[in-house]
Amino acid sequence: MKLTILGATGSIGVSTLDVVARHPERFEVVALTGHRQVEVLAEQCRRFRPAYAVVGAADDALRLARMLRDAGLATEVLHGAEALVQVASLPEVDAVMAAIVGAAGLSPTLAAARAGKRVLLANKEALVMAGAVFMSEARQAGALLLPIDSEHNAVFQSMPHNYAGDMARGAVRRILLTASGGPFRNTPLAALTEVTPEQAVAHPNWVMGRKISVDSATMMNKGLEVIEAHWLFNAPADSIEVVIHPQSVIHSLVDYADGSVLAQLGNPDMRTPIAHALAWPERIDSGVAPLDLFAVAQLNFERPDLARFPCLDLAYRALRAEGNAAAVLNAANEIAVSAFLDRRLSFLGIADLIAATLDAVPQAAVPDLAAVLEADRQGRAAALDILSRMS
């Protein structure tokens, strides 16, 4: 199988390459992208020798090309958004790992779907921002969508084999998405006013990037996953339930009409869903240690406190509103998290900014990619304007 890995220098990309390296007879890397992490990308290119490497800026491309030329590699170095689309839709590529964080990953992920690839979907925003457009394009092109988020991958593994986007026909009653609760699950509410970026990115169970770690701390990450599950599994908002499970051992569950509940369990390691999607419908070694239930000893479950996690409630609000609301939500969240990490916005201000942005942008339909991108633009502009007045 020939692969393009979008976002190769991030945590998902690094984990993907770890799995790929365990099976050199099965996988060949055709293209790697890394935006600004030139040194990391150069080392990955030396090891996996792709035909193409993509970075964000022209000066970084020149630097990377020089490094690879000095290493004796013939890798072609490209840069910019169009180059991402190009390597995501190369004719020789069989599968695309879509792991670019944020709205920047939308266009190349959509290009992979349009090209009929096996799309390993780790970019939430493709479905959060453009769910209807993305799913329509994927179906039309015959693309195979395999979720990489541990929760959605767990749901996929627990769904009936004949499931085809119809919960009633599959006798599925509910999808239960588990959440760790992040680092502030038990923090007194009054103390949340003083949360620092360093505290917010210190996830108790998972090693992730800064933006997604903050999303986990606010539970916006779970809210985005609710929207993603709606599109992946054609599930109404009321049939998707979030369950706080601090151990992160059960990755999600599916509740059936006959009373059965199927769950997928494993150690909290992203190499498991990555290996599952790379080899599906087969199974391969991922390098993840076997789950030791005796060491786990107990499994706990709690209802999410929406007073503590208002971002989760905002995501449900956007899903039910339909149209451009989810794209606006995502745009506002990206602005808010960036401002928080830059110490220009408080932790509690993240939800306040998102709520105000949802109120400020008029609802509208999003029938195509242009409308999605316009909703994203409006959301960012409104969020920045509100932020300027909050600071």
> Average pLDDT by consecutive 10-residue portion of the chain (391 residues)?
97 96 98 95 98 97 97 97 98 97 88 97 90 94 95 95 76 95 91 92 73 92 95 94 96 97 96 97 97 95 94 97 96 96 96 98 95 96 95 68
CATH-assigned architecture of domain 322-390: Orthogonal Bundle (1.10)
For 2-147, CATH gives: 3.40.50.720
Residue 206's pLDDT is what? 63
Parts of the chain belonging to CATH 3.40.50.720: 2-147
Parts of the chain belonging to CATH 1.10.1740.10: 322-390
Residue 205's pLDDT is what? 64
Pairing of strands 172-179, 250-256: antiparallel
